Chain A
Amino acid sequence: MNVDVNGPKIMFRIPVAGGIPVTETIVNMWAIMVVIVALCIWLSRGLKMRPTSKKQIVAEKLVTMLYDLVENTMGKRNLHFAPYIGTLFTISIFGSLSSLVGLRPYTADLSVTLAWALVTFMMIQTLTIKNRGVGGWLRGFVEPVPFLLPLNIVSEVASPISMSFRHFGNIAAGMVITSLLYGALAGLSSVVLGLISHTIASIPIFQLGVPAVLSVYFDLFTSFLQAYIISMLTMVYVAGATE
């Protein structure tokens, strides 16, 4: 039984400053980014005032859904955040779903989700300062009573950590459980087939089809849910900062 659970492999090194490692995560992410950009260019080409092609109807539906969601969650005055939320959702869902085509999902790397959460964190702090001024921002830490200052700081710092760990943990757990299952199925099929003949014992026949059932939950459902959650949390936090 051979279970292979590792961090992202280092694909190559950029020969600058002692070799900067470029991991599987970065390579996969650039590949997915190319796919997303190509998809966006294809969807937005040849748009007409009255949609005649199915392509344009789908694109309009997606954009309308995004703007409706942002308007319902953040209010009309924050509608200009919709492109950022849409980008976050798209890159997250494509990344998590890339495990379906055999790539290592880059959302199973903490650096990716932590980067997204830090962008949101900086956005929240900047918007709070912009809206309430530096004094108002600092006063927010000693409300309702100055005694709560350490707790307020901890809760402020904890939000990007919990956001990134949640996304990373869900996808990474799915990856670990899937690889454990593949190992277990290989072991099971070698035991069962070993009873029949030793020559066919190494064929992992039970790996066929069985993991697909779990994949519906761990790949499809979790990917959609986590992309929804991270964009929803971003919307809620940012809307709170602009009040």
Chain B
Amino acid sequence: MLERAIILAASAVGAGLAMMAGIGPGIGQGYAAGKAAEAVGRQPEAKGEITSTMLFGCAVAESTGIYGLVVALILLFANPLVNLL
């Protein structure tokens, strides 16, 4: 019982730590959005192109954050460690 409790507690902490992966994409996407705002300010007629390029870049930059999220989801909802006991 105690071993199980330790594993569950550690998994919860691990899921929280895995979500720290969200820091990087947050900074990156904010930077991309800022640059896109600058670009629109400089060239308002290219707004559509800039927006789609920015969304594309943001979504690609997001993947590291998504990896962290997948790890956290696995730890919370499909924990493989509990079965190891």
| Count of inter-chain pairs, beta carbons less than 8 A | 38
Partner among A5, A6, A229 whose Cβ is within 8 Å of the Cβ of B56: A229
Check if A141 is an interface residue, CB within 8 A of chain B.
no
- Asked whether, in the complex, the Cβ of A165 is within 8 Å of the Cβ of B56, the reply is no
A-contact bits for B56-85, CB 8 A (1 contact / 0 none): 100110110011011001000110000000
Considering only CB atoms, which chain A residue lies closest to B68 in the complex? A169
Residue picked from B55, B56, B59, most chain A C-beta under 10 Å: B59
**B35-70 interface with A by 8 A CB criterion:** 52, 55-56, 59-60, 62-63, 66-67, 69-70
CA distance A173 to B73 in the complex (A): 9
Chain B residues lying within 8 Å of A6, measured Cβ to Cβ, are 77
A162, A173, A228: the one contacting B63 at CB < 8 Å is A162
How far apart sit A173 and B56, CA to CA, in the bound complex (Å)? 19
Q: Nearest B residue to A221 by beta-carbon distance?
A: B55
| B-facing residues in A212-243 (Cβ within 8 Å) | 225-226, 228-229, 232-233
Q: Count the A residues whose beta carbon is within 8 Å of the partner chain — how many?
A: 18
B59 neighbours in A (Cβ, 8 Å): 166, 225-226, 229
Q: Is the CB of A228 within 8 A of B55?
A: yes
* A176 CB-CB contact with B under 8 Å: yes
Instruction: Report B-chain residues with C-beta under 8 Å of the C-beta of A51.
Output: none
Summarize A's interface: helix, strand, loop or mixed.
helix
Residues of chain B contacted by A225 (CB below 8 angstroms): 55, 59
User: Please, how many angstroms separate the alpha-carbon atoms of A5 and B78 in the complex?
Assistant: 11
Which B residues are CB-close (under 8 A) to A229? 55-56, 59-60
Q: Interface residue tally of chain B, by bracket?
A: 10 to 19
- Taking a contact as CB atoms under 8 Å apart, the answer to whether A169 and B56 are in contact is no
A166 touches B73 (CB 8 A): no
Within the complex, the shortest CB–CB distance from B57 to chain A, in Å, comes to: 10
Q: In angstroms, how far is the closest chain B Cβ from the Cβ of A51?
A: 26
What are some 30 contacts across the A-B interface (CB < 8 A)?
Answer: A5-B77, A6-B77, A7-B78, A162-B67, A165-B63, A165-B66, A165-B67, A166-B59, A166-B62, A166-B66, A168-B70, A169-B66, A169-B67, A169-B70, A169-B73, A170-B62, A170-B66, A172-B73, A173-B73, A176-B73, A226-B59, A228-B52, A228-B55, A228-B56, A229-B55, A229-B56, A229-B59, A229-B60, A232-B56, A233-B60
Q: 11 additional contacts, CB 8 Å, given A225-B55, A226-B59, A233-B60?
A: A5-B77, A165-B67, A165-B70, A166-B62, A168-B70, A169-B67, A169-B73, A172-B73, A176-B73, A228-B52, A229-B56
Seen from chain B, the residues whose Cβ lies within 8 Å of a Cβ on chain A are: 52, 55-56, 59-60, 62-63, 66-67, 69-70, 73, 77-78
